[in-house]
Amino acid sequence: MFEKILKQNNLKITPQRMAILKEIEKNGHISIEEIYENIKETHPSMSLATIYKNLTSMQEARIIVEVKLPNQKQKYEFIKQPHIHLVCEKCGNIQDIHFDSSIKALQKICEKRTLYKIKDVSVALFGVCPECQ
């Protein structure tokens, strides 16, 4: 699966990229530091710089996207349909909720009111997850 995605985006299939993509898939939302911690045993020669470089390449190829949340380290996820992030203020868990039509409607309302041409939408709702309540 990852081989096909990398080939379609003209990126070389490397063990480093494969390991990074597997971590993103396994975790859903993951920081650079978490990726590094999770793969350093199986890929001891991979540095943080290598992870940064590969994440940047995969972002430019529109395979992954940076999740920007206030007061949190940046995390990465696969690009997918528009969605809302639910963020637990206690444990930091991030859950995706899909409301395609609502997000697109909100974007159109904002564009109409402000005359902005919106290129990207990022919505995050903060609260306490069921496990932390």
Residue type, 106: L
Structure tokens at 69: 């949340």
Residues forming the annotated binding site for Zn(2+)? 88, 91, 129, 132
Residues forming the annotated binding site? 88, 91, 129, 132
Query: What is the gyration radius of the CA atoms in the chain, in angstroms?
Result: 17
Return d(Cα 53, Cα 59) in angstroms, integer. Answer: 10
Structure tokens at 70: 């206030």
